[in-house]
Amino acid sequence: MIRRRLLAAAGAVGAAAVAGCNAVTGDEAPRYESGTIDVEADGDGDGDGDDRSAEEMTAADALAEQDINEGVTPLDALSIDDHEFVLEDDFRGPTIQGTVTNAGDDPIQVVEVRARVADANGAHLGRYLATTGDLGSESKWAFEVILLESPDEIDSYDVTVLGTPT
């Protein structure tokens, strides 16, 4: 009986510790850069983006990354050089595209760009990622984050870059 209580208590403490891993605060918290949305980018002049067909949504969903890598952290060597909202006229639809630089002397094993999107009221709509591996020293990476929301729902976004050193 005592052994069961001890195991239950240890399990609860372990679960609480793991649950807190996503809530990085202070100096270790990622710093996000804001971006703006221009849905006129679809080129049809009606002020909105066209929704994806069911087939396009299936393809976009297969490529859109949403599962974060718990092993990445902010690294001084990584920076986002530029980023912008781009409304592609194929299955990708709304995307955030830009460039990341590894200005450090060592390669980075895993690089992850995280993008958060919000509606006009500031409500969080989703978090999406782009990931690459083995970004060499003094190298650049052109990233593309595929968003699954309709372009009409998205009002703003912010992005950050994280990594795992080698």
CATH number at residue 145: 2.60.40
Does any domain span residue 18?
no
Question: What's residue 122's pLDDT?
Answer: 95
Question: What's residue 50's pLDDT?
Answer: 74
In the chain, the amino acid numbered 137 is S
Residue ranges in the chain modelled with pLDDT below 50: 1-23, 41-47
For 109, the token pair is: 């094993």
Does any domain span residue 108?
yes
Measured between alpha carbons, how far is 96 from 100 in angstroms, rounded to an integer?
Answer: 13
Does any domain span residue 79?
yes
The answer to whether 96 and 146 have CB atoms below 8 angstroms apart is: no
Does any domain span residue 13?
no
Question: What's residue 48's pLDDT?
Answer: 54
In the chain, the amino acid numbered 75 is L
Does any domain span residue 14?
no
Question: What's residue 36's pLDDT?
Answer: 87
Does any domain span residue 10?
no
Q: What's the number of domains the chain is made of? A: 1
Question: What's residue 28's pLDDT?
Answer: 74
Does any domain span residue 22?
no
Tens digits of residue pLDDT in 29-38: 899 999 988 7
Question: What's residue 25's pLDDT?
Answer: 58
Does any domain span residue 8?
no
Measured between alpha carbons, how far is 73 from 55 in angstroms, rounded to an integer?
Answer: 35
pTM: 0.78
Question: What's residue 29's pLDDT?
Answer: 85
The C-alpha R_g of the chain, in whole angstroms, comes to: 19
